[in-house]
Every structure is written in structure tokens, then in C-alpha cells.
Structure 1
Amino acid sequence: MSEFALLTIQKKLDHEKQSLYWNLYMAKKSKQSIEKVLKDEGIDPHLFGKIRFIENHQGIFVEHVSNDQEKASEQQLKCEMDIASEWLMCFSFREMSVIGLDMGVFEAEANISDVFERLHWSEIENSNFDLFVKRDMLIKWLRKHATHQDRIHLSSDWLFYHPEGKYDYSFVERFINRRISELRKTVTCNHWSKDPLARLQPMQMTAS
């Protein structure tokens, strides 16, 4: 295995508050030059980075990762040679998928509002204090750079690439299942529960 797994914020597109992204979206829809829009805005296309738009029933979302490393760190997290455990805690099973055949790719997407709730209510045993700290760091990063209307997208990217196809669909599926099984020894996540009622609602605190 090599390279990085990626966790990227997908911002909900608001054409009034995000005029640049809206103009880029409209240019792409009409098959016009995105580079021309950037140049008209006085932005160097080579520094702007990668952008893609995602449309679903919740609206239009923009995923932008700048070529400027400082700006990119506000839009995307990287995990070298692995997938961070606290990232896996963000997603329910139905939001996870493995695609590809010769090269397996793990993907997951979730609404930020759901992610905040899941991370907040997850219970981590004291024996896994390092994960407790990393979970809280992830919450702080998301609060700083995302809103409840946004989404996050996790991708193993080229993490499981092998020229001989050893890291195929089945390998990745087993890898993720094994990681979650290990996590569940010290972590309790309601959205991973076999109880359907527990999956639908967070644990409620009772007044003392």
C-alpha cells in the first residue's frame, strides 16, 4: 500500500455567498472554460487547485482543494498509508462503499450535521485515549472549516493500489471490516449498532 487516504469537505453551494464557485459551476454546466472564469477573477488557474461539483437531492456541493498547502489543509485532511480510525467513526455502514475490481477503492460520504452528532455521542474507552484526542481534534477542525449544511467525503484514493491487483475489491472490503471490528472493542458508536432504534437516534442524557 502507498499514498494517502483523503477526507474532504464538500461545501453546500450558495450562489449569493459563493459567487466564484457559482460562476465556475455555471461555466462547467455550459461547457465553458473554467480557466477563463478564474482569470477574469484575477486568480491564477495553476494555484487554484482541483474542483468538482456534486449534485444530489440535498442540493449542489463543491469540493475544492487548493494547490496552496495552507489553504488545502482547511479543505482536506490526509492520512498516510492508512485510514484514520476517527474518520471511520463518521459514517454509518450504508454510507460506506467499495468500488473497483482490480483496484479496490473505499469511499464514504455523510452530512456534517450527522457527523457532529455521531462523533459527539461516540463512547471511547480510556484504554484508547489516543483515539479520544484525535476524535476531538477532528471535531474542532470540522467546526472551524465546515457548516452543518456541508458534507464530507472519504476516499482511500490510491492507498490500495497494487500493479498485480492484490488490493482488489475483496481485499479492501475485508480490510475495512477488520478495522471496524477492531474499533468496536474500545469504541461504541450508535450508528454501528445492530439495534435499529439505536442507529436512528443518539443516546439521550437524563437529568440527575
Structure 2
Amino acid sequence: MLTVQLSISWGIIAVIMEAVRERKLSPMQITPVTPDLAAKSLPVIADAFANAAHSDGHEADLVTALRHSSDYRPEYDAVAVNDEEAVLGHAMLSKAAVVADDGQRWPVYVLAPVAVTPAEQKKGLGTALVMYLETMAYGDGIRALSVLGDPAYYGRFGFVPARPFGITAPYEVADENFMVRELQEGGLTGVHGVLHYDPAFGLTPQA
């Protein structure tokens, strides 16, 4: 298990270093938020989604609400910062649960949102942020992650459609966009039901 975790960690470093060598990215680091960095992240999140086709324009508000959730874990609230401590990107995991009809629950985490400032997009920074959070969650024994997004992008990280596992969204969404990723071997074995998000998402049902 440790070997896998270390290999993922080196993968993050490799992604960042390659982007820096190719002059796509300035030297930077990924770190959990501090109060100062949390505040700096909000305009970056808003800018990142300003022209996104499927944005509702409230991603920064969602992050603020998630930071006030009783299940909030600051180690799963990550930012990418440069040498001047300017925030270049942000990504976050929030606690959720897959709930069966009989009430049985399996804890999972949701990856959302992932935001990179427009000037740094398509340079590998989003990839590094996702890999960082996957590494953290894997090391903590989290069974699986869920994401709603582009399968061409998130499929690179091992996300696959959730429905074949018997996991469904609490809203209408195309099967290919509602995805899960096992972090632990067999992490979704026997798991089935509807994904319940943190109440901050404003979805029904809620975690």
C-alpha cells in the first residue's frame, strides 16, 4: 500500500516538474489551505468558472459553504501557489455517502470543484491538484471518490461511470458524466444506492 501511495506522490511531482521544465508553469507547490489562502482562492475559483459552459456561477459560494460544513476537512481543501503565494488553482474533496434503499450507508468523497486560474489552464495544474487529493484520500483509507464532469478528462485518473456499480446521482445526469473511482481495492464492492452530497450542495437527498 505504501509503495502505491509513494508512486502516486512521485507522479504529482513529475507532472509539476515536467510543466515547469516546458515553461508551462511557474515554480509552485500544492498545499492545504490556510485562512489567508482560503480567502485568496475564492476569486480564482470564480474566474475559473466565469466562462464555463456548465457553470451556475456559484462555485466560489459552494466552496465557502463547504468550508463551514460539519464534515469539512481542511487537508482535503488544496491550493496551488507560486513563490509569491499567489493562488493559481484550487481543488476540494467533501464527504458524501452512498445510501441504499434499506438505509445502509457507505462513506465516499466528492471531488468538486476543481478550478485553475484562466492564465494557467491546460498546463497540467488541474491534473496535479487532482492527483494530490487522490493521494491524500488514498493514504487516509478513503474507499472511493465521485465526480461529475468530462469523462475524457477524469477518465485519465481512473474515474468510470458509476451506474454499473449500482450507484446513481440524486438528479438527472448523463451516465457518462457521473463517475466514481475506487481508491482502495474492492472499495465499491457491494456498494449500491443513491449518492447523498453534503448539504452545502443544496441537492436532495442530502448526506
State the TM-score, normalized to the length of structure 2.
0.24
Q: Identify which of structures 1 and 2 has the higher relative contact order when contacts are C-alpha pairs closer than 8 Å and 6+ apart.
A: 1
TM-score between both structures, scaled by the size of structure 1: 0.24
Greater CA radius of gyration, 1 or 2? 1
